[in-house]
C-alpha cells in the first residue's frame, strides 16, 4: 500500500532510555508483534545509545541487545527491523553482525555538525545491502544551512534517507519547518524527522515536517523515550488520520499496544515535568534526564542546576560522564558556601 510518509517506531531503541535499558525478550516479542500487526513499516531496536551502548556511561542492558535484536528479527512478519549506531560508540563490525540476524536498516547517528565521522559506517551498511539512514542529532543546534551542508556529506557517503533529530525536544514548529524546507530543497534523498516532546510540540512538529516534505517520521509507543519522551506513535497515527494523511497503520492497534503492553512496563508515565521541560528549554540531550536525576540524588544537588550547567557547557549526546562532573562541582561549591556561611543568602 502506498502511504504518505513512512513511520519508524523506536519504542525498542529510544524507549529503552526511559526504562534504563531493562528490556527482556518477552517485551520485545510483544512490542514487535503489536507494531507489526498495526502496519508500522520499520521497527528500530538497540540499546538507547545505539548498538554497543551498554556501558557504565549510558547504563548496562539487562539482556544483551543482540539477543533482543535476533528475537525481533524472528518475530516480525512485514515490518523491517532497524538498528541505530553512533560512530564512536558502536562499530562497523556490529552492523555486519546484526545484518546477519536480519536487520535491514542501519541508522547512523551523529551530532549535527560531525557528519564526516559516519563515512566508514554508512559505506559498510551499503556494502551489506542495508538501507543506510544518516541521522543528525541535536538538530536545533545547527542552522538550516548548516544542516544542509552536513546532509550533503551524508548523501555523498551513500545515505538513502536523511533524518534530523530534535534530541533535546527544543524545536518550535517554525524551527522544524525552516530546517525541513531547506533539506527538501537541497537534498535529493528523502528526509525524516525524529521529534521529542519536551516543549509539548512532538506531534505538531512531526505534522509540520510532513507538510514541508518530510517522508519519514518517528514515534514511540506511549511516547516512551528519553527526556520528556518521543512523539507518541499512536497519537501521530490518529492525528494523521484526522488530517487525511495516509499512514498505512491502524491507530487502534497502536492504542492497544500502548495501553496494554507498553504502559505497564513504564516505571513512570511519560510526562513533561520540570526537569523534562528544562531539557527542552535549555536544549540539553534528552537521555541525560535519568542519569542527572540519579547524580542529583547521590550528591544531593538540584537536578535542574545540573541540567542548566550541562546546557551552559554545550555538552553533546554521549557526554553522560559530564553529569557526574557537574554534580561533583556543584556539591563542592555547595559545601564551600556552607562552610563560609554564605549558604543561607544563596
Partner 1 sequence: MRCAILGSGNIGTDLMIKLLKGTDASGSGTTPLELVALVGIDPKSDGLARARRMGIEGPHEGPDWIIDHADDIDMVFDATSAYVHVAQAERYKDAGIVAVDLTPAAIGPKVIAAVNLTEHLDAPNINMVTCGGQATTPMVYAIRRAIDHLPYAEMVSTVSSRSAGPGTRQNIDEFTKTTSTALREIGGAEHSKAIIILNPAEPPIMMRNTVFGGIPEGADHDAVIESIYAMEKDVQKYVPGYRLKNPPVIEEGPYLTPGGEVPHRAVVLLEVEGAGDYLPPYAGNLDIMTAAAQRVGEAIAHHKAEQKAGA
Site for partner 1 in 106-125 (CB under 8 A): 111, 113-114, 116-117, 119-121
The strand pairing partners of 217, in sequence order, are: 7, 193
CA distances from 205 to 166, 219, 345 (A): 10, 12, 43
In angstroms, the first-to-last Cα distance of the chain is: 62
Q: Which of residues 18-77 bind partner 1 (CB under 8 A)?
A: 52, 54-57, 60, 62
Selected from 172, 186, 319, 337, the binder of partner 1 by CB under 8 A is: 319
Instruction: Using alpha carbons only, give the angle 145, 136, 276 rounded to the nearest 5 degrees.
Output: 110
- Write down the least CB distance from residue 240 to partner 1, Å: 35
* CB-nearer residue toward partner 1: 22 or 172: 22
Q: Cβ distance 248 to 41 under 8 Å?
A: yes
* Residue at grid coordinates 549506531: 85
CA distances 260 to 256, 266, 314, Å, are: 6, 11, 39
Least distance (Å) between residue 83 CB and partner 1: 16
Q: Should residue 88 be labelled a site residue for partner 1 when binding is judged by CB under 8 A? A: yes
Catalytic annotation, pick one of 17, 47, 196, 291:
17
Which of 314, 335, 336, 338 touches partner 1 (CB under 8 A)?
Answer: 314
Q: How far is the CB of 329 from partner 1 (least distance, A)?
A: 6
Nearer to partner 1 among residue 122 and residue 236 (C-beta)? 122
User: Do the beta carbons of residue 154 and residue 132 sit within 8 Å?
Assistant: no
Is 17 catalytic? The answer is yes
SS3 state at 244: coil
User: Which residue number, 78 or 120, has a Cβ lying nearer to partner 1?
Assistant: 120
State phi, psi for 84 to the nearest 5 degrees. Answer: -110, 145
| Binding segment toward partner 1, per CB under 8 A, in 178-186, 218-226, 268-276, 312-320 | 312-320
| Residue that the C-alpha cell 556529506 belongs to | 153
Nearer to partner 1, 88 or 302 (CB): 88
Closest approach, Cβ 48 to partner 1, in A, equals: 14
- Say how far residue 153 (Cα) sits from the centre of its chain: 21
Contact 112, 139 (CB under 8 A): yes
Q: Which residues bind partner 1 (CB under 8 A)?
A: 52, 54-57, 60, 62, 87-89, 91-93, 111, 113-114, 116-117, 119-121, 298, 313-322, 324-325, 328-329, 332
Q: Which residues are known catalytic residues?
A: 17
Amino acid at each position: 500500500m502506498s502511504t504518505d510518509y513512512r513511520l519508524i517506531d523506536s519504542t525498542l531503541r529510544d524507549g529503552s532510555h526511559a526504562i534504563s535499558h531493562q528490556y527482556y525478550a518477552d517485551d520485545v516479542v510483544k512490542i514487535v508483534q503489536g507494531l507489526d500487526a498495526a502496519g508500522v513499516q520499520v521497527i528500530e531496536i538497540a540499546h538507547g545509545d545505539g548498538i554497543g551502548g551498554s556501558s557504565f556511561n549510558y547504563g548496562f542492558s539487562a539482556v544483551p541487545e543482540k539477543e533482543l535484536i535476533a528475537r525481533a528479527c524472528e518475530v516480525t512478519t512485514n515490518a523491517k527491523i532497524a538498528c541505530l549506531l553512533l560512530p564512536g560508540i558502536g562499530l562497523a563490525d556490529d552492523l555486519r553482525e546484526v545484518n546477519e540476524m536480519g536487520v535491514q536498516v542501519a541508522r547512523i547517528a551523529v551530532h549535527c555538525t560531525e557528519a564526516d565521522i559516519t563515512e566508514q559506517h554508512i559505506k559498510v551498511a551499503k556494502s551489506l545491502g542495508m538501507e543506510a539512514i544518516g541521522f543528525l542529532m541535536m538538530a536545533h543546534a545547527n542552522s538550516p544551512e548548516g544542516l544542509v551542508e552536513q546532509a550533503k556529506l551524508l548523501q555523498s557517503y551513500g545515505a538513502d534517507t536523511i533524518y534530523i533529530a530534535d534530541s533535546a525536544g527544543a524545536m518550535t514548529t517554525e524551527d522544524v519547518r525552516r530546517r525541513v524546507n531547506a533539506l527538501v530543497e537541497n537534498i535529493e534523498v528523502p528526509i525524516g524527522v525524529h521529534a521529542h516532546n519536551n516543549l509539548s510540540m512532538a506531534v505538531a512538529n512531526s505534522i509540520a515536517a510532513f507538510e514541508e516534505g518530510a517522508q519519514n517520521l518517528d514515534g514511540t509507543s506511549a511516547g516512551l523515550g528519553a527526556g520528556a519522551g518521543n512523539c507518541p506513535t499512536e497519537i501521530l497515527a490518529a492525528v494523521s488520520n484526522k488530517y487525511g494523511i495516509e499512514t498505512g497503520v491502524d491507530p487502534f492497534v497502536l492504542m492497544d499496544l500502548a495501553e496494554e503492553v507498553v504502559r505497564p512496563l513504564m516505571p513512570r508515565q511519560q510526562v513533561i515535568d520540570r526537569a523534562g521541560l528544562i531539557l527542552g528549554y535549555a536544549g540539553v540531550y534528552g537521555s541525560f534526564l535519568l542519569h542527572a536525576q540519579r547524580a542529583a540524588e547521590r550528591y544531593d544537588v538540584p537536578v535542574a542546576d545540573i541540567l542548566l550547567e550541562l546546557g551552559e557547557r554545550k555538552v553533546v549526546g554521549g557526554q553522560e560522564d559530564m553529569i557526574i562532573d557537574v554534580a561533583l562541582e556543584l556539591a563542592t561549591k555547595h559545601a564551600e558556601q556552607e562552610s563560609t556561611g554564605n549558604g543561607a543568602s544563596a
